[in-house]
Amino acid sequence: MAATVFDSAIFRDTFATPAMREIFSEPATVARYVEVEVALAQVEARLGIIPQDAADSIKRLASAKDIDLPQLRQATNVVGYPIVGLVAQLAKQCGAAGRYLHWGATTQDIMDTAVVLQIKAALAIVERDLAAIDGALTELAKTFRGTVMAGRTHLQHALPITFGYKAAVWLSAVLRHRRRLEEIKPRLLVGQFAGAAGTLASLGDKGLAVHDALMRELGLGSAAMPWHVGRDNVAEAVSLLALITGSLAKIATDIMLMMQTEVAEAFEPFEEGRGSSSTMPQKRNPIACELIIAAARIVRQQAGLMFDAMAADHERATGPWHLEWLAVPEAFLATGAALAQARAMLEGLIVEPERMRRNLELTGGAIVAEAVMMALAAYTGRQEAHHILAHASRSALANGRPLLAELEREDKVTKHLDAARLRQLTDPANYLGSALAMVDRLLAGRGRASG
């Protein structure tokens, strides 16, 4: 019976996707173990280490789907690891050829290489969804490049920005993650085959030949040194997932805040019943955002476990490795869910430019007080200009007047800046700094990189 949200009949598609769950499912994990064992027999036969007919029989007869999982569980409970019990069952399947299974290998060789194969498949999903999110954010940045809205610092109106600029900030992080993903592959997609203490002693002078041939057979890279007690590569993979989901959580946090009733500047795509309340019929909750943020926190915790797992003792760890059995699958499952939620949300995001404009005007032009201050500073000095504008802004807000009206009453301002200049300075669309150029530069660079 399911006991966690990842395999729950109720929650499973909320905290994971079917595709990612399939990669790390128990049948798929066992199938990867068998794949590595069969590949090992094939390359050892080609190198003259075991008989070719034995390797042929192993390839033909070894069957992951015929593994008795309850029996494997019992053996694992006794041994502490699954490979001894697995090899025993495979040996029975393969008859006389079974004596040549697992030749020169150790448990961790099989499990580590299998998990790298799983990670390789899982990263393909991550890569696909990041590319789709890249596309959605690129479209938002282009479409709303000039859509002026309030930029907020400390949750308060700060200076004008555009929604395209905000989307481009999100996009810049996604682009960095896509580069990180490419950069990590040569370090991460490397198999493990090193024998009992990492020296391949049981294979004599053919150890490295078997190692390299096995990795070619499996489509993985070869390691110069064994990494069974050097776990930085797997820890880096989960750390990358934490970075990716952290950036998705930042996007989700922004959109969640923009969905507030009082703000109403952007919304998750509408779906009948999505985000509804069991008692308040008017509610439209930011459910995708909530799930993304929750998933990001799950992944962050798993990244912490991976750092604990790095403290392996001597040439075979006495326990830290076990943490990875929990952390790696759950990190990928939660990441897959976060990516799927973010992709659907961003591809269908509802943006409200008119509401952005109305919110921009809430402070009666105070959001561009800095623009007037900088123009006035040329005549009065910055500190005096800051004092004048701070006083004018407080007075305008207190009296319910637009900042422009307040400034037009202030002699210290009007003797330096005429009415036309003040109108120009208090229009938020005229105080975007380099925001549009930044968006253009990011999009141009993205085009060159993808071409």
In sequence order, what are the beta bridge partners of 150?
Answer: 160
For 63, 66, 364, the CA distances from 95, given in Å and listed in that order, are 13, 14, 84
**Structure token pair of residue 55:** 């390797």
Residue 450 has pLDDT above 50, yes or no: no
> What is the spatial distance between Cα 44 and Cα 100, in angstroms, rounded to a whole number?
10
Q: Where does residue 104 fall: left (phi above 0), alpha (psi -120 to 50 degrees), or beta otherwise?
A: left
Predicted local confidence at residue 277, as pLDDT: 52
Record the tokens describing residue 170, joined without a space: 């999100």
The length of the chain, given as a count of residues: 451
**Structural domain includes residue 449:** no
- Tell whether 188 and 209 lie within a shared domain: no
The values of phi and psi at residue 200, to 5°, are: 55, 30
Residues forming beta bridges with residue 160, ordered by sequence position: 150
* Residue-level pLDDT at 282: 54
Q: Is the pLDDT of residue 274 over 80?
A: no
Output the domain CATH number for residue 377: 1.10.40.30
**Look-up: residue for tokens 């198999």?**
191
Is residue 202 part of the annotated active site? The answer reads no
Residue after which a domain boundary falls, among 312, 338, 360 = 360
Note whether residue 353 is domain-resident.
yes
pLDDT tier for residue 451 given thresholds of 50, 70 and 90: very low
Both tokens of residue 53?
């007919």
The count of structural domains within the chain is: 3
pLDDT for 273 equals 57
Share of the chain above pLDDT 90, in %: 90
CB 15 within 8 A of CB 295: yes
In angstroms, the CA 96 to CA 368 distance is 83
User: Is residue 151 over pLDDT 50?
Assistant: yes
* Residue 218 Cα distances to 33, 91, 103, 113, 115, angstroms: 12, 21, 17, 9, 12
Residues 49-54, mean pLDDT to the nearest whole number: 98
Q: Are residues 421 and 353 in the same domain?
A: no
Question: In degrees, to the nearest 5, what angle opens at C-alpha 246 toward C-alphas 307 and 175?
Answer: 110
Tell whether the model's pLDDT for residue 23 goes beyond 70. Answer: yes
Contact 400, 409 (CB under 8 A): no
Q: In this predicted structure, what is the pLDDT of residue 202? A: 96
Band of the pLDDT at 397, cuts 50, 70, 90?
confident
**Would you call 416 a catalytic residue per the annotation?**
no
CATH code (residue 43)? 1.10.275.10
In-domain check, residue 2: no
Question: What pLDDT, in 10s, does the model give residues 287-296?
Answer: 999 999 999 9
Whether residue 185 sits in one domain with residue 46: no
Catalytic residue among 8, 157, 222, 277: 277
Kind plus residue range of the DSSP H or E element containing 267: strand 266-267
Q: Is the pLDDT of residue 319 over 90?
A: no
Cα 154 from chain centre: 25
CA 369 – CA 265 distance, rounded (Å): 23
pLDDT at residue number 285: 87
Are the CB atoms for 59 and 38 separated by under 8 Å?
Answer: yes
Structural tokens at position 325: 């059995």
In a domain, 82, yes or no: yes
pLDDT one-digit tens code per residue, 357-368? 999 999 999 999
Strand, helix or coil at 240? Answer: helix
Which of 360, 383, 409 is the C-terminal boundary of a domain? Answer: 360
**Cα first-last separation, the chain:** 49
Place of tokens 């490049």: 145
Are 239 and 187 part of one and the same domain?
yes
Looking at residue 190, what DSSP letter applies?
A: B
Q: How far is C-alpha 231 from the geometric centre of its chain's CA atoms?
A: 20
DSSP 198: S
Lookup result for tokens 């096995």: 214
CATH code, 338: 1.20.200.10
Are residues 118 and 20 part of one domain? no
92 in the same domain as 111: no
Q: Do residues 49 and 129 both lie within one domain?
A: no
**Is there a single domain that holds both residue 183 and residue 302?**
yes
Band (271; pLDDT cuts 50, 70, 90):
confident
Q: Do residues 310 and 418 both lie within one domain? A: no
Asked if residues 308 and 320 have their Cβ atoms less than 8 Å apart, the reply is: yes
Q: What are the residues facing 157 on neighbouring strands?
A: 152
> Are 81 and 17 spatial neighbours (Cβ–Cβ below 8 Å)?
no
All residues at 6 or more sequence positions from 121 whose CB lies less than 8 Å from its CB, including other chains = 23
Average pLDDT, the chain: 94
Identify any residues that bridge with 149 across adjacent strands, giving them in sequence order.
Answer: 161
Task: Check if the beta carbon of residue 145 is closer than 8 Å to that of residue 441.
Answer: no
Domain end call among 360, 379, 403: 360
436 is a domain residue: no
Of residues 8, 25, 63, 154, which has the active-site annotation? 154
Residue 269 and residue 372 share a domain: no
Domain that holds residue 208: 16-105+203-216
> Do 156 and 291 fall into the same domain?
yes
Q: Are 430 and 444 in contact (CB under 8 A)?
A: no
Return the structure tokens found at 390. 């701070």
Q: DSSP for 334-368?
A: HHHHHHHHHHHHHHT-EE-HHHHHHHHTTTTTGGG
Residues 248 and 341 reside in one and the same domain: yes
